[in-house]
Structure 1
Amino acid sequence: MNRKRELIDLSHPLDPNRISLWHTMPPFTCCSVATIEKDTFSIHTISMGTHTGTHIDAPCHFIPGGKSIDQTPLDVLHGPALLIDLTHKQAQECISWEEDLPYAEQMHPGTIVVLHTGWSRYWAKEGNEYFEHPYVEPLVARELLAREIAVLGLDVPNPDVTGSGGHPFHAIFLGGGGYIVENLTNLEKLRGIHPVVSLLPINIVGSDGAPVRGVAWDDS
């Protein structure tokens, strides 16, 4: 009998009462419009931005003519992951290629690189800590693309400095055909295993982003 795999949930729950959203983002709402008691069935309406919660950035998020979510090949969003421990990083500290990512020999084409800063601990907390996260220098985007890394996942809301008005990492990585998955969680559970991850989005035609229900499991 095959042993059932234990799945690790990498996505934050979407809860309108417990969520981190940058102030320029549309609010997330989930409202009942039919109930079993009144209508014999239950239905809710959902309103949200395409970059709410754990989600993926498609190239057209910043790149004119870039691929949209429905044009994204699913095979690039599923595969072996390289987890990089960056939990020593402080607020608004730079993650650099030379100092923080000496893992080039492990970055094989098709590997999904996942940066673990531990910042998901600030998700939905009062204050602005979640948006004062470490950021990734643009050189990292170039080096990942040079190694045919198409997907970068992070447990922060942005590989660039949130609120700075600049998006250099996005521009380079998405411009090179890459995809960015933001607001991951539970990455500490990937330590000590050989993780495979699945980061599949809702198939929204023409969209620049979409929610992701990310999962991982041990492939050892």
Structure 2
Amino acid sequence: MFRDCSHPIATGMPTYPGDPDVTLAPDATHEGDGYATSELRTGTHAGTHVDAPKHTLPDGEAIDERGVGRFAFDARLVDVRPLGPRDPIAPAALSEPSNLDADVDLLVLRTGWESHWGTDRYRDHPYLTAAAAERCRAAGVGIGLDTYGPDPTPAVDAESDEGGEPAASDERDEPTGTPAHDALLGESLPIVENLRGLDGLPERFRLYAFPLRLRGADGSPVRAVAEWEE
């Protein structure tokens, strides 16, 4: 069985705050040119994508420096629902012995947040605690998520106040920066973000998330596909 776990790339699709907008528009047309081509403008982290270590680490590996086989994963689905907005995902949610055994490359965390794709609420996804990221790092296991990423995303009400400082940030005890990214990417472990279609997947499956071969890039959109036996 195969399942597409990718969001479609389309003009105006949701992007991480501050990332480039996505446009997909006709270039040549059948009527005017006798054939069709399109122009795509996108950031490297639009839609369902993989991060390269270079994303958060200045001296990290670029996406085209990684062997193609490193984007085919033995994955385990970990259902961490129900979680509320901006809830932390602690090590206890990941630490069942079978979740982090030696034959797993990737834990795919099902938070349920894909249901908020395209809304402001999607920013308020659960996130990995530093201890949970360290647990994955120590086990040599990467992370896939149905969210913007393993670290908190700026909330709509926390982007800026009149003085230029984040508003309401003191109300939440959240990490700043990219500590979960750094812990995983510092060990060259995979991070696959903005997955979809996780409902009904089996506990174990293969996940293929092959990036474009972008020279020196920090990440790439992917066509993420799950495969399993019936």
1:152 aligns with 2:152: no
Q: 2:210 aligns with which of 197, 200, 205?
A: 200
Residue 59 of structure 2 aligns to which amino acid in structure 1? G
Q: Structure 1 residue 9 and structure 2 residue 4: aligned?
A: yes
> Post-superposition shift, 1:104?
3.1
Corresponding residue for 1:58? Answer: 52
Task: Please name the residue that 2:153 is paired with.
Answer: 162
- The farther-off stretch of 202-211 and 157-166 is 157-166
Alignment of 1:133 onto 2:125: yes
In the superposition, the TM-score normalised over structure 1's length comes to 0.89
Contact kept in structure 1, 2:130 and 2:179, CA below 8 Å: yes
Counterpart selection for 2:23 from 29, 36, 49: 29
Q: 1:50-77: CA deviations, max 9, x gaps?
A: 0100011100101121111001222232
Correspondence list, 1:184-195, <5 A: 184-191=195-202, 194-195=204-205
CA distance in 2, matches of 1:144, 1:112: 9
1:194–1:219 Cα contact (<8 Å) kept = no
Deviations 1:12-46 (A, max 9, x none): 001214x2123311100111111011100001111
CA distance in 2, matches of 1:165, 1:137: 11
1:162, distance to aligned residue in structure 2 (A) = 0.6
Q: Does 1:107 align with 2:117?
A: no
Aligned equivalents of 2:204 and 2:61: distance in 1? 30
TM-score scaled by structure 2? Answer: 0.85
Q: For the residues of structure 1 that align with 2:132 and 2:8, how far apart are their CA atoms? A: 29
Q: How many corresponding residue pairs?
A: 209
Separation in 2, partners of 1:212, 1:104 = 30
2:83 equivalent to 1:72: no
User: Counterpart amino acid of 2:126?
Assistant: P
**Change in CA separation of 1:194 and 1:219 when aligned onto 2, cut-off 3 Å:** farther
RMSD: 1.6
The residue type paired with residue 193 of structure 2 is E
- Given that residues 20 and 130 in structure 1 are in contact (C-alpha distance below 8 angstroms), is that contact kept between their aligned partners in structure 2? no
Separation (CA, whole Å) in 1 of partners of 2:124 and 2:132: 20
| Residue 190 of structure 2: aligned partner | 179
Name structure 2 gaps, 5 residues minimum. 155-174
Opposite residue 159 of structure 1, the aligned amino acid is: P
* Residue 123 (1) aligns with residue 117 (2): yes
Residue range with higher mean Cα deviation, 101-110 or 30-39 = 101-110
> Where does residue 3 of structure 1 map in the other structure?
none
Deviates more, 1:70-79 or 1:131-140: 70-79
Secondary structure of residue in 1 paired with 2:150: coil
Gaps spanning 5+ residues in structure 1: where? Answer: 1-5
The 3 A distance-change label for structure 1 pair 219 and 79 is farther
